[in-house]
Structure 1
Amino acid sequence: MIDIEKLRIYDEEDNIYVTEHASERFRQRGIKIKDIRVAIHNGEIIEQYPEDYPFPSCLIYGNDSNDNPIHVCMSDEGTSSRIITAYHPDLKNWNEDLKTRKENKQ
């Protein structure tokens, strides 16, 4: 399981990487790197994805630099992390707490 404290240390040591694709998506969504960093430090892990390839990842719920809710998906690569994506959660997919997914009723 990924530990949020470990991700915070990666951030403090500047060992978090962002792909060009993820960076472009942040720009489209109006999310800045500082928003992600703030969320890492004030947030909590709400989902773990231990089977993700090539590295386990997790979903963090936190607040951005404007105190708006944000989700950040990050990997733990052993000595560093990679931002996979970040977005502002939508109540269409998340319960009121923005930490619990709505059940998919079909």
Structure 2
Amino acid sequence: MESTPDILTKVRAASNKRRLYLPHALRQMARPDRMISAAEIRAVIERGEVIEDYPEDSRGHSCLMFGFGSNNRPIHLVCSPKDDYLAIVTAYIPGPDKWTANYSVRVKQ
């Protein structure tokens, strides 16, 4: 299994080539209560951290990243690095009911 730093390196390298926003990601980003921009996604990729690693994902190795967008708002995104691009699977604003105060650990239900 790859370690988290390895997936982060692959995510950033793939993002530097091209980012492909999957339909689900575009729908989630465009929700009126979210309105997450491509610039915010880029900021999370460039300065954020991997908080969950999914090496066995059916879409290929993917991860959940956490970072900050405009006005310092927290953003989560799921992405999967490919040889020629980074697939952006989804993006959302994490809710305090599902995440700890630092938005990086899931609250146990």
Tell me if TM exceeds 0.5. Answer: yes
Superposed, 1:18-97 pairs within 5 Å as: 18-28=21-31, 29-97=34-102
Aligned residues: 103
Question: What TM-score does the superposition give when structure 2 sets the normalisation length?
Answer: 0.85
Residue segments in structure 2 that go unaligned for 5+ positions in a row: none
Residue segments in structure 1 that go unaligned for 5+ positions in a row: none
Percent of residue pairs identical: 33
Higher RCO (Cα < 8 Å, 6 or more apart): 2
Residue 79 (structure 1) shift: 3.6
State the partner residue of 2:12: 8
Relative distance call for 1:98 and 1:38 in structure 2 (3 A) is same
Aligned-residue CA RMSD (Å): 1.5
Question: What TM-score does the superposition give when structure 1 sets the normalisation length?
Answer: 0.87
